[in-house]
Structure formats: C-alpha cells, structure tokens
Chains A and B, each alone.
Chain A
Amino acid sequence: MEPILQVSHLSKTQILQDISLQLASGEMLGIMGPSGSGKSTLLYNIAGLDQPSQGEVWLGDVDVARLSEDQKASLRLHDMGFVFQQMNMMANLNLLDNITAPAKWANSQKSGKRKAELENKAKALMKKLSISGLENRSITEVSGGQLQRACICRSLINDPKILFADEPTGALNQRAAKEVMIELSKLHQEGTSILLVTHDSKVASQCDRILYLLDGQIQGELKLKKMMDPKEREEQVNAWLRSMGW
C-alpha cells in the first residue's frame, strides 16, 4: 500500500539516531519502548512539533522537516490530528467549542451556515464516540475518559490525513482506557492512519505493526496478524517485548 508517511534517517541530537520508518495509508503503527527511549520525541519530530537535526519526514509530497514554523502550523491544523496524554483542552471553552475550535481556526469563513455545519459535524463525532449530550459541559465537568474521547473528536474535526496519539490512555483508569482504545480501533478500521506512542502492551496490541525503540534507535519490529484474537495479540506483543529485553 502507498505510504502516507515516510521518515528517512531522522536524527535528533543526543535523543534519536538515524530513524527510518513508513506508515501506510489506513495503517495503525505503534511505537513502544522504555521511558527515555525517545518515542515521544520521535512523534513530535515527525508531527512537526519539534525540528529534527537531520533527516526527512514526508507526509504525502511535503517534507515536514523543511517547512517554516507557520507552514508546519498550517499542516498540523489541516492535515494532522493530535491526541495527547494530558488531553490539553482549553479551560475557557465547553466541550463542543473545544472540538470545533480547530475547524474554526482552519476556516476563516464566519457564516451562520458554516457554523451550523461545523456544530453538526462535531455533534456527529461526539455521538460516534459516545459522548453525546456533553456538548455544553465544561472540561472539569466530565470524566477523564469522556474528555479524552472529546480530544479524539477534536483531532478528527478537520478530517486529518493522519492521527498522532501520544500515550492516549496514559492518564486514564483501566475502564476509560479501554473505552478510548475501542474508539481508536474503530477509527483505524474505518481507514484512519494512526501513529501511536504507548508503553501499554494492551494498547499496542491494537496496532498493525509495532516498532521497538531503545536509546533513540529502532531495535525491532513486530507485525500483528489481522484476524488474531485480542488476547492472543496481547500475548504475542508481550512475548516480543520480552525478547527485546523489556
């Protein structure tokens, strides 16, 4: 399948060394590794949040690493979606406004029709992620799981080419983490390309492929079979991790 993302010889001084990887369209790629291995740094460098010291990051036909700050910002706004461990929602806006915010920033048109369309789209996403009815709640009035699902809605509002998820379940309890992963899996099955950083083997077992990072270098790769039972997939991931010295 055509790669949507292609990373070649990416380095970041003292953290990442000569990383090359590909993400196929509709693929869900997991990056695992112990703390300090550089997995989040890798994600941020790929997403244009940080500047690599060497290497290329191609998203479609654009080399992200060569763009100016403002061009990167525009790319993130229009073509990328983000799900953070700490959610990072704006305290002064309710859930609906938080979700629609990137779309409003991306489109300067301010017609009432456009606003209604956006709200409908956001509500549809909320319904899809099972958080309907929370539109007017403030971010302190919902649970962690609900908030993270709202973050996923926000990341999808501009129909991104790729979704970046940095430890999306890291700040959630087990139940909420499970709910969030179900939603990410659904998105993946619908064809969304996802690059996900995690240290949780249960989360990683949902991916098509996992890369193991250690001391800023890719040490190994695991391809998971599609039809495998979730339990079996998790065991396979754990076994592989043990073999990598986890």
Chain B
Amino acid sequence: MAGKLILNDIKHNKLLSAATVFFMTISAALLILTTILGTELVTTIGSLMDQAQIPDLIQMHTGEIDTNQLAAFASSHPEIKNAQTNRFLNLENSQIVLNDHNLVDSTQDNGLVVQSEKFDYLLGMDSSLPQVNPGEVYVPISYREKYTLEIGDPMTIFGQPLIIAGFLRDAQMNSMMASSKRFLVSLADYERFKGLGQEEYLLEYQLNEGEDIHAFQSAYMEANLPANGPVITRPLILMINALSDGMMVFVILLVSIVVLMISMLCIHFILAIQMERDRKEVGLLKALGVNRKKIRRLYFSKYLLFSLAGGLLGLILAALFMQPMVSQLHELYGQADKPIVSILAALVAMVASEGIILFSIWNSLRKIDHLSALDALLSASKKGKSWVQYGLTGAVSAACTFLMLVPVNLSHTLADPSFVTYMGIGSGQIRMDVRLQDDRASTCQRMAKTLDQDDQVEQFTLLQTGSYPAVLADGSQINLTIEAGDHAIFPVRYSSGSAPAQPGEIALSSLNASELNLKVGDTVDLVVNDRLTPYTVFGIYSDITNGGKTAKIAGQLDAPVIWSVVYVSLKPEVDQQAWMARYQNLGVDVVKIADYVQDTYAQTLNQLQLVSDVVMIVGAVVILVVLGLFSRLLVEKDRYTISLQKALGLTNQACERIYFQKGMAAALAGIVLGLLFGLFGGQVLCQVILASFGAEGFRFVIDEVQTFLIIPATVLISSTLASGWGVRGIQTIKAYECCQGRE
C-alpha cells in the first residue's frame, strides 16, 4: 500500500521527485568527494612519511662538520632514537639536462644524494628502496609529468650521461613547494660528480615517541653543533605536503557545504510545495483515523527511498570525479596502507549527507502533526508568500556566484606575480640565486657592481642570508635564518609593522613570530660576532618559503653567507629573456619571479583550475535546476491567479513576462550579493586557511574578466534559461480554470 502510494506519487510528481533526488545526489557526491580526498590526502601522506621514516628534525648545513662532535651529541641525548648525516650535492641547474630539457629555468635546488642508511628513505614507485646501479639515476616523481620523462630517458650532468632507471617519492621534498629536489644515484656516481657541485649536509634526527621537537632543537643549538642553514621539522614537512593538495580539498569542502545548504533549502521548499499539494490527502488520512506518526512515516519513507537513490548515485558520481583528482595524490604519495579507510570514510560521508537532509525532512514533516484534519479538508489551501520564493531564487544565485568566484580568484591570486610577497619574496621581476660559488661574498659584490652599471636595470637589491643564534626570554637558544640587505626596494607583505631599515631592527616571519611568541615592539637578542645584541621586532611578514621561519635585518650580514639572492626589475623596454640569458652565463641561477610562482604552485594551481572548472559546471547546473524548478512551482502555485489574469484578457506572453521579470530581478540581486559576499567573505575564508600556512593578511588579486564578466554572465544565462523554461508552464493554464471555483 505505502509502496503503491509512493510509486504513484512519484509518477504524478516526476519533476519534484527528480529534483529531490538531484539535490540528494549532488550533496552526497560532493561530501563523499571531499571526504575521500581529505582521507586520501592524510592517509597517503601519512603512509609515505611512515614508509620513508622521515626525520623529526633536519638541520641543513653548508660548510665543514665534525662527525665526532655529532656522534658525541647523539650518544649523550637519550631522546634521540636515530641519527644520521646525509650528503646533498647541490648542482648548478644550467648543468642538468633531463631528456632534452635543461633545468636552467628551474627554481628548485637540484642535487644528488645516495640512499640513506637508517631512515629518510627515498622510495621507488612500488614503495621499495631502489637499488641504483652505477650510471643510473632515480628522478623525483614531480618531474615525470613536468618534463614528460620515461624510464630509459637520458639525464646529463655537466655533459656526463646517466640513464633514468626509475622515479622516486621523497617524503620530505615531494611537493613543488619544497624548494629542493633530490636525485638518487649510486655511491660511485656521487663520488664521481662530487667535485662539480657544492656539498651540503642534512643532519637528521629521529626522536623517541612523545619527545618535544622544540626542546630538542634548543638542545642542539646549545651544543654549538653545525647550524649553517635552515631547520626543517616533521610538522613542517607534513604541512608543506598537505598545503599543495589541501587547497583543492578546502575548495571542494567549501563547495560541498554550500551545495548541501542549497540542497536542504530546496528540498525543504519542495517538501513545502508537496505538503501543500497533499494537504487534503493528509487531512483525509487524519480524518479516516491514521495517526500522525504513521502519516509522517508514510511521507518519510518516500524520501528515504529518494535518499537511498541519491546516496548511491552520489557514490557513483563521486567515484567518476574522484579518479582524476586522486591520481595526482597517488602519483605523488603512493597508495595508502589501508584503502579501506577511504571506502569507510566515503560511506560515512554518504550516510552523513543523506542523514542531514533526512533529519531536516523529518523535522519539516512535523508540520503534519499540527495540520488539522478539518482545516485540510474544508478550507482553501494556504498559499505561501511569493517573496519567499523570489528570496530563495536570489539566495541560490548568490550562493552559486559565490561558489564560482572563490576558487577562480584564489587560483588567480596564487598565480599572480604579486603573490610572492606572501611567500617572503620581494616583488621584483627577476630573482638571481648565488649559492654554489665558493667565493659567494666576492661573486655577490662583483654582481652588484655589474648590475649597478647595467643601464637596462631599473633597480635591484642584494640580500644575503646567514644564520644567527638567538637567545629567547627563557634563556634557550635557537638559530634564526636571517636575510640582510635593503628590504625597502622590493618589500614583502607585512601583516604588522614594516621593513627593518636601521641597525638593531629585525622583521620576523609570522611563523617565527608566533613560535617565539614575539610581536612588533618586542626585543630579541642575537649573537652577533660573539656579542649579545638586542634587536627590536619592527615588522612581521608572511613567508612560506624555507619552512616559513625566516627573519630580516637591514644592512650587512655579520655571519657566514649561506646563500645570496638578488632581486631585479628591468626597464620597461628591455627584453627580459635576452637579459636573463646574459646573466645565466655568469654562473648564477636567474629566474623570472612569475615562473618561480608557477613552479612552486604548479600542482596546486592545476588542481584549483580543475576544481574551478568543475564548480562552474556544478554552479550552472544547480542554477538551471533550482531556478527552473522554482519558477515552474511558482507558476503552479499561482495557477488560480494566472487563470484569472488570462480570463480578464492577459495574453500568455504578458503573464510570462510578469513572472520572468520578477525571477530575473531576484537572480540579478543574487548575483550582486554573491559577488560582494564572494569578494569579501570568500577572501576572509581564504585568509583563515592561508594564515595557518604562514601567509598573513591575504587579499584577493581579482580576476576581473572572470569575476565581473564570465561568472555573472554564466549565472545570468543559466538563470534566463531556467526562468524561461519555468514560466512556459503558464501556457498550460486555461482561462476557464478560475471559473470552476476558488482554488
């Protein structure tokens, strides 16, 4: 009986039933997708980090090391589970050729390593430890697609050939956001190339379970061990890995929450329409003695059926969309140890999304309890207010505009050259890195002189980075990676205060400031030339490079130079490529800052682009379905009025125009609201997310064409088509209907 009632009801209300299933499907699909991607991201990264056995702390060091001193330190600290020293042979990018592709444009530090002994393993694609024979090389997986490489392709270093024997996953440096890439070679080849590059050390430590990394870092500093380079910690590695792919998950999560809300709104509305239509029937059931619970259950069972269909369809849809999205995750991080976790998470997401919708339906169905059998049977139906419907039309347009806007502007902002200022990089046009020369100081001075005399250069600044011990308020010591020079020429973005300009002033990256618990105006003591020198915190800036923990001072560096960077802007008429080629010949890495951003964010940008495209389609389809449905239902609701208007002499076109205009006015208002909310609210949302990665004070760089033309046009065209289809229902209403009795 209930089955028959439901089936016949579905037959008679195909549009409403289809719309309900559509909303349930799309909500389930998006939530499942978000959950699977989130779970995959966490589990695959976790699996890789476990398999590779990443260190808890890595001190990078350029210069000599005393192995006895390191061994003594390791044996005197019981919190150390394992310690090892790895070597990294940093090569000049212009001397590396992958297949036919010279890495001269690469913004990464590329170098050779041999397989670690105890931990921090570089893994093959099957998660095993590759056995590298002389003459072979394993290449970072992120380069496979970037340079379209295959096993067997050649690689040359200073013209000496190697054969690519496979690709590797590097738990530490997999992400393009990590600034170095490790190539795995045999010990024999490493020794062969040793003289051609600059050797750096990775002093790596694994701590026992539950040990405090920060406390260990302080102990390391106090022991006066080699510390000429940045420090990387396990949480940082996890964050860098998660950041590049997490952005996509964040955007999809945002979309799924908004779509879930739209769906609940629309299903609630559909339910209200359905209840209004079935008012008499509910009254009859009550009059005949069917109790409230039974009636509610009868209606609910229909939605349960819908939700089952929606959930399953959502699962299928998510499975279809999931593949291209997780394929990059799998390529980068491999498969998770326990794929069952993702399957379970997907099922939980499906149940959760349908559960939320069903709960709201069950609540709405409580109206049945309050409906009097007599009122339902005898009185004219209560008409909902039309403005509510137009309000919903506006709200859906606004939500879809918002949805389309956020990912587009987020990816546009990340792709914009000015985004480097959030990364702790000056806003110049060209960046020159001087890392490998033995006589860095003199090379830099020479370069500065050359640039000064180069009349194609508009302005430039030389920034030199070194490591200073800093003494904290509690007396503990840490090493601060400090960049010295003129920070006013190409300033980074300061979330508070400004660039240091005088001696005794220091600016800290936001991660450093929060970790050291310092704010503008506070003082930090640096050990400069063995003397404790107080520095006042003058500014705090965004930085997500070098682990996000950097600092800046004005003037000259009083410590050994780890690396030097020159930022340059050229005069407008200068050919950038030709200029860069000229300086590349001087043996320094010269890259366009725009390319640097492109390189660092290529993974994230590709994914965001994919998500933006999907969101555009989803948004347009949601508008088509929702607005089409709303206007059709509005016409249905106003059937009597429309019939009366026709009886009084209004033509179909005139009636259609009235409803079309009202619908479009609501949609337009929605677009404006969506634009405003997307630009301001969306920015705040992105601010919150990016701040957790160290990019403070985020502002959208607005993609004007997309924001003010393509997105509003898409919403407008979808709304026009939907409303146009909806109001065509007017043609089926006969003028005589109103004469057959008042509603």
Where the two chains meet, the residues of A that have a C-beta atom closer than 8 Å to any C-beta of B are 44, 49-50, 69-70, 72-78, 80, 82, 84, 86, 88-93, 97, 100-102, 104-106, 154
Are the CB atoms of B377 and A70 closer together than 8 Å? Answer: no
Q: Tell me how far the C-beta of A141 lies from the nearest C-beta in chain B, rounded to whole angstroms.
A: 14
Q: Which residue of B lies closest to A45 (CB)?
A: B374
Q: Cα distance A74–B294 when bound, in Å?
A: 11
Tell me whether A76 and B287 are in contact in the complex, defined as CB-CB below 8 angstroms, given that A70-B292, A97-B4, A105-B294 are known contacts: yes
Q: Which residue of A lies closest to B373 (CB)?
A: A49
Are the CB atoms of B290 and A105 closer together than 8 Å? Answer: yes
- Quick check: is B337 within 8 A (CB to CB) of the other chain? no
State which of B54-62, B278-286, B445-453 sits at the interface with chain A: B278-286
Are the CB atoms of B1 and A88 closer together than 8 Å? Answer: no
Are the CB atoms of A50 and B281 closer together than 8 Å? Answer: no
Complex contacts, A104 vs chain B, CB 8 Å: 1
Are the CB atoms of A77 and B288 closer together than 8 Å? Answer: yes
Q: Cα distance A75–B284 when bound, in Å?
A: 15
Q: Tell me how far the C-beta of A16 lies from the nearest C-beta in chain B, rounded to whole angstroms.
A: 14
Name 10 A/B residue pairs within 8 A (Cβ), A-sorted. A44-B374, A70-B293, A73-B286, A74-B289, A78-B289, A84-B377, A92-B5, A92-B9, A105-B288, A105-B294
Q: Cα distance A44–B281 when bound, in Å?
A: 17
- Quick check: is B146 within 8 A (CB to CB) of the other chain? no
Are the CB atoms of B289 and A77 closer together than 8 Å? Answer: yes
Complex contacts, A44 vs chain B, CB 8 Å: 374
Are the CB atoms of B287 and A92 closer together than 8 Å? Answer: no
Interface centre among A50, A88, A93, A154 (most CB of B within 10 A): A88
Q: Cα distance A74–B293 when bound, in Å?
A: 12
> What DSSP secondary structure best describes chain B's contact surface?
helix
Q: Cα distance A5–B511 when bound, in Å?
A: 83
- Quick check: is B291 within 8 A (CB to CB) of the other chain? yes
Are the CB atoms of B1 and A97 closer together than 8 Å? Answer: yes
Number of interface residues of B (CB under 8 A): 24
Interface centre among B12, B283, B289, B292 (most CB of A within 10 A): B289
Interface centre among A80, A91, A97, A105 (most CB of B within 10 A): A105
Q: Tell me how far the C-beta of B646 lies from the nearest C-beta in chain A, rounded to whole angstroms.
A: 24
Q: Cα distance A106–B281 when bound, in Å?
A: 17
Q: Which residue of B lies closest to A106 (CB)?
A: B289
Are the CB atoms of A88 and B284 closer together than 8 Å? Answer: yes
Given contacts A50-B374, A88-B284, 8 further A-B contacts (CB under 8 A): A50-B372, A69-B291, A70-B291, A75-B289, A78-B289, A88-B280, A91-B281, A105-B294
Q: Which residue of A lies closest to B376 (CB)?
A: A88
Q: Cα distance A74–B281 when bound, in Å?
A: 18
Q: Tell me how far the C-beta of A85 lies from the nearest C-beta in chain B, rounded to whole angstroms.
A: 9
Q: Cα distance A91–B319 when bound, in Å?
A: 39
B 519-533 binary contact with A (CB < 8 Å = 1; else 0): 000000000000000
Q: Which of B8, B283, B292 contacts A73 (CB 8 A)?
A: B292
Complex contacts, A90 vs chain B, CB 8 Å: 5, 281, 284
B 1-22 binary contact with A (CB < 8 Å = 1; else 0): 1001100110110000000000
Q: Which residue of B lies closest to A84 (CB)?
A: B377
Interface centre among A49, A70, A97 (most CB of B within 10 A): A49
Q: Which residue of B lies closest to A79 (CB)?
A: B289
Are the CB atoms of B377 and A69 closer together than 8 Å? Answer: no
Q: Which residue of B lies closest to A51 (CB)?
A: B372
Q: Which residue of A lies closest to B12 (CB)?
A: A92
Q: Cα distance A70–B295 when bound, in Å?
A: 12
Are the CB atoms of A93 and B377 closer together than 8 Å? Answer: no
Complex contacts, B372 vs chain A, CB 8 Å: 50
Q: Tell me how far the C-beta of B336 lies from the nearest C-beta in chain A, rounded to whole angstroms.
A: 46
Complex contacts, A78 vs chain B, CB 8 Å: 289
Tell me whether A93 and B5 are in contact in the complex, defined as CB-CB below 8 angstroms, given that A50-B374, A77-B289, A78-B289 are known contacts: yes
Q: Tell me how far the C-beta of B340 lies from the nearest C-beta in chain A, rounded to whole angstroms.
A: 38
In residues 141-163 of chain B, which contact A (Cβ within 8 Å)? none
Q: Tell me how far the C-beta of A164 lies from the nearest C-beta in chain B, rounded to whole angstroms.
A: 10
B 280-317 binary contact with A (CB < 8 Å = 1; else 0): 11011011111111100000000000000000000000
Q: Which residue of A lies closest to B2 (CB)?
A: A104
Complex contacts, B286 vs chain A, CB 8 Å: 73
Interface centre among B9, B287, B288, B291 (most CB of A within 10 A): B288
Are the CB atoms of B377 and A76 closer together than 8 Å? Answer: no
Q: Cα distance A91–B5 when bound, in Å?
A: 9
Complex contacts, B287 vs chain A, CB 8 Å: 49, 76, 82, 84, 88
Complex contacts, B377 vs chain A, CB 8 Å: 84, 86, 88
Are the CB atoms of B290 and A73 closer together than 8 Å? Answer: yes
Complex contacts, B290 vs chain A, CB 8 Å: 73, 77, 102, 105
Q: Tell me how far the C-beta of A195 lies from the nearest C-beta in chain B, rounded to whole angstroms.
A: 15
Are the CB atoms of A82 and B8 closer together than 8 Å? Answer: no
Are the CB atoms of B288 and A69 closer together than 8 Å? Answer: no
Tell me whether A73 and B284 are in contact in the complex, defined as CB-CB below 8 angstroms, given that A49-B374, A50-B374, A84-B377 are known contacts: no
Q: Cα distance A88–B12 when bound, in Å?
A: 18
Q: Tell me how far the C-beta of B136 lies from the nearest C-beta in chain A, rounded to whole angstroms.
A: 72
Q: Which residue of A lies closest to B377 (CB)?
A: A88
Are the CB atoms of B5 and A73 closer together than 8 Å? Answer: no
